Amino acid sequence: KNKGVIFDLDGVLVDTAKFHFLAWQKLANDLGFDITETQNEQLKGVSRVKSLEKILEWGDVKLSQDQFMEQMAMKNDNYLAYICSMTKKDILPGVGTVIDYLSENSIPFALGSASKNARIILEKTDLIQRFDAVVDGNDVSKAKPNPEVFLIAAEKINIPSENCIVFEDSVAGVQAANIANMTSIGIGEKSTLHEAHYVFKDFTEIDKDFIIKLINN
């Protein structure tokens, strides 16, 4: 019924959210402080620049423009070291079943991620050719919770916003989907993602009937 699906990447299709956390934590540690898992929830879905700004604020550290750029580059090198060995085995459980179902039923689906590394990860996991559109951190200027990334994705798959279903693991991403008038499905903890229309721990918890209902709604 003219529905479309938009997937976030990190923490939704692959478990890279933990690698982002480890790399940010190392950066903080090197600057003499630590970040908690709770603080990390506020970094999920947020662009690289915005994330570093937040972290520096938490640690009360001020950097020059050059130092800022240097820290960003080091964080990314660290992160890339984690993801370089990824394969299709790293696609999270249950994801394959859902995207197979969408393909079989000709429901278009897009990626809507803040990450500038999204394409590398989709290539490594053999997912790239399955997407009808990929919108990532290189295509947007406004970070989630701004809905820009999802609005561009909806446009690319040619589906009206209100007919789009978004899978997100971040608070900022759920907010972005809601602002875009889309149906938001949180992947993670209900307590953290309470603003989402539905929340599941992971894709193995989503049964076919739920997807069918969502698509035909």
Q: Please list every residue from 121 through 180 that binds Mg ion, using CB under 5 A.
A: 169-170
54 binds ligand G6P (CB under 6 A): no
Q: Cα–Cα distances in Å, from 193 out to 48, 62, 138, 150?
A: 21, 31, 26, 18
Query: Do residues 75 and 52 make contact, with C-beta atoms less than 8 angstroms apart?
Result: yes
CA separation for the pair 47, 117 (Å, rounded)? 11
Stretch that binds ligand G6P, among 43-51, 146-154, 184-192, 204-212 (CB under 6 A): 43-51
Q: Is 13 annotated as a binding residue?
A: no
CA separation for the pair 53, 62 (Å, rounded)? 9
Q: Is 141 annotated as a binding residue?
A: no
Indicate the residue among 26 and 116 with the shorter CB distance to ligand G6P.
Answer: 116
Catalytic one among 10, 30, 60, 139? 10
Q: What is the DSSP letter of 10?
A: B
Is 10 in the active site?
yes
51 binds ligand G6P (CB under 6 A): yes
Q: Cα–Cα distances in Å, from 117 out to 12, 62, 120, 153, 178?
A: 15, 26, 6, 17, 25
Q: At closest approach, how far in Å is the CB of 62 from Mg ion?
A: 28
Q: Please list every residue from 112 through 171 that binds ligand G6P, using CB under 6 A.
A: 113-117, 137, 170
Binding residues for ligand G6P (CB under 6 A): 10, 17, 20, 43-48, 51, 76, 113-117, 137, 170
